[in-house]
Structure formats: structure tokens, C-alpha cells
Amino acid sequence: MKQRSTYSQIEKIGAISGILSIIFYIAAVTIPLPDPFPRLLAFTFPLLWILSYMALYYFLKKEQHTPTLEIAYIFGIIGAALAVTFLVVQQANFIWHQEAMEAAQSDDTKKLLKATFRGANRVQAGMDVAFDIFITIATMFFGINLARSSKLPSFLGIGMILIAAALLVLNMITFPTGPAEAGLIDMGPFLGIWMLIVYTWFTVVVFSKPNLDKTL
């Protein structure tokens, strides 16, 4: 009974974390907030992803434990860890570059700093692609298992598969340039919106289902 209660709590915490992760992401990139709040939001939302993946994993595992579910869970955690890593590197580069530009005494020095920054910034851009690879595969595999679940509508999982697959394919076609910079569609925002729908639906399910622990 204690184990079931723990899993139920993880599902609820993870469901809310999934919603918050998308809200934090949107706020970090769209709402003008004073420093350091945008950075804190950016560093936090991938950590919330991990909690949301734990919740989906335990929820779906109870119905059917599959190899694709295990892969989705592991790849999702790796992807979230990569997201934190490249965001920390990205933001640190921005801050160091800005500080160096403010201290530069000549135009030649500023030109050199800008060229150096462009080279260093490509590192985090490559890490961003690595993140996309892991996170899209995790999303597709979670989608496969969610589409088979009898407790959630299958179209949620199908949508995850299709959008994540499109995001991965476009990233591979335009590599190392991002799809948006290459003149194609960036599927990232679409995946974020879809996952907000998934986690909202998931939250309703895990909070409305009967508490089996009280009846055992």
C-alpha cells in the first residue's frame, strides 16, 4: 500500500511539474523579466521535465511495462540534463561576452570579442541539437506507450509521436543550422503547446482517479 501511495504522489507531483515546466519555458522566452528571473526559469524547467517523466513512466508502467517505455524514461532524463547543461553554458557565454564588450576600449577589440563569441556560441548550439535528439526520441516513445493506454486518449500519444518526429527530422535535415534559421518551421513551440495539453489532461486523470490505497 505504501508503494502505491508513493507512486500516486509521484504521478501528481510530476503532472503539475509538467505543466509548470511549459509555463516556465514560455515565461523565460517571451516575458520581459528583470535578471536573474529569466535565467532561473530557464534552468528550472528541464528539472521539472524529469519529474514529469517520472510521473508518466510510473503511470504507464502500471498498465504495460515495455522496452520503449524504459528507453523513453532514460532518454528523457538524459535530454533534460543536456538542456540544463547547454542553457547554463549559453547564459554564461552571454554574460561573459557582455562584460567583455563593456570593458573593451577599442573597436578592434570589440570586433575580436564578437568573433570569439560567435565561435564559442556554436558549442552550445551543437549541444542544443544533442538535447533535441534525446528529447524527441523520448517523446516519441512516451507517445507510443501513451497511445496504447486505456486511461488516456490515444490522440495525445499520436500527436506526441508526429510532432516530435517532425522536429527530429527537420533538425537532422538542417544540421548544424536550426530549422528556423534555415527557413523551415521550428516545431519546438508546437511540441511545447502539445505537451501542455498532455500534462493538463494527465493532471486531471491522476487527481480525479480513486485513491486505491484507502480501499486496500
Q: What is the pLDDT of residue 212?
A: 42
Buried b (16+ CB within 10 A) or exposed e, 117-139: beeeeeebeebbbebbbbbbbbb
User: Cβ-count burial of 142 within 10 angstroms (0-12 exposed, 13-18 middle, 19+ buried)?
Assistant: buried
Question: What does the block give as the cell for 55?
Answer: 510521473
Q: What is the pLDDT of residue 79?
A: 95
Q: What is the pLDDT of residue 215?
A: 37
Q: How many domains does the chain have?
A: 1
Q: What is the pLDDT of residue 67?
A: 96
Q: What is the pLDDT of residue 172?
A: 93
Residue 184: give the domain boundaries: 2-215
What are 200-216's pLDDT values in tens digits? 999 999 998 664 444 33
Nearest-angstrom CA–CA distance, 19 and 45: 10
DSSP run (H or E) holding 55: helix 37-61
Residues with pLDDT less than 70, the chain = 1-4, 209-216
